[in-house]
Structure formats: structure tokens, C-alpha cells
Amino acid sequence: MNKQQDINNEDSDRLLEIVLAALDDMKGVDVRVIDVRDLTSITDRMVIASGTSTRHVKALADNVVLQAKQHGYKPLGIEGENAAEWVLVDLVDVVVHVMMPATRDFYALEKLWSVGSRNDASA
């Protein structure tokens, strides 16, 4: 691994810590981190969390965006804010999915992205 990769990994790790803290601050439910570096080039990690209501889902996603921006990470995109059944926050190295439990169960992203991953860790 070269020096640039080390810097990128440290930056990605820092961003992940910010995301996890933002979800924890707002009482995100069943937060999971999936390392997808070996599975796709679109991101390093996916974070999946549930909210207890659509309002909670939106608040969780909003806090992730706020905390990321405060630490200098600008989201590439945010999708699903209006319905708030599933809000996706794309922070490039970390993609955050905040979902209602029924939506999360239906799409089963953990199962989809965990097949063959290096590290499927609970946060």
C-alpha cells in the first residue's frame, strides 16, 4: 500500500467515525457497517441504520449530513428525504442508508452486500 492509499484509508476511517457518532447521537437503531471495498469501486463502506418513524429516519440522515459538513465532508448526493422511508446519503467513501425497519427487511441490503465481504461488523 502506498502513502496515498494510507491517507485515503485514514480519511475514510475518520469519515466512518463521524457517521457512526452522528447516528449514535440521534439514537439510530441496529447500526451496521459493511466493508464493500472488495465488492465494488463505488464506495469503501456502507452504513445501514433504522429509524423508529419517518421523522426519525429523516432526523438521522439530516444529522449525518450536518456532522459530515461540519468536518469538511460534502455529500455527493442525498436521496429519499421527502418520503423518508429510506434516505441515502452518499459521502463517497461511505454511503449511508437510513431506513424504516420494514423497508430494511424488504431490501435486505446487509445480506446483499455481505456476500463475500472482508468484514461485516456491527457498530
At CA 61, angle to CA 59 and CA 67, rounded to 5?
A: 100
Domain boundaries, position 35: 3-122
**Tens digit of each residue's pLDDT (9 = 90 or more) over 4-15:** 444 478 889 999
pLDDT, one tens digit for every residue, the chain (123 residues): 444 444 478 889 999 999 999 999 999 999 999 999 888 889 999 999 999 999 999 999 999 999 999 999 999 999 999 999 999 999 999 999 999 999 999 999 988 877 654 544 444
Euclidean distance between CA atoms 60 and 93, whole angstroms: 19
Q: What percent of the chain has pLDDT over 70?
A: 86
List CB contacts of 20: < 8 A, sequence separation 6 or more: 31, 33, 47, 123
Number of domains in the chain: 1
Q: Domain holding 50: CATH number?
A: 3.30.460.10
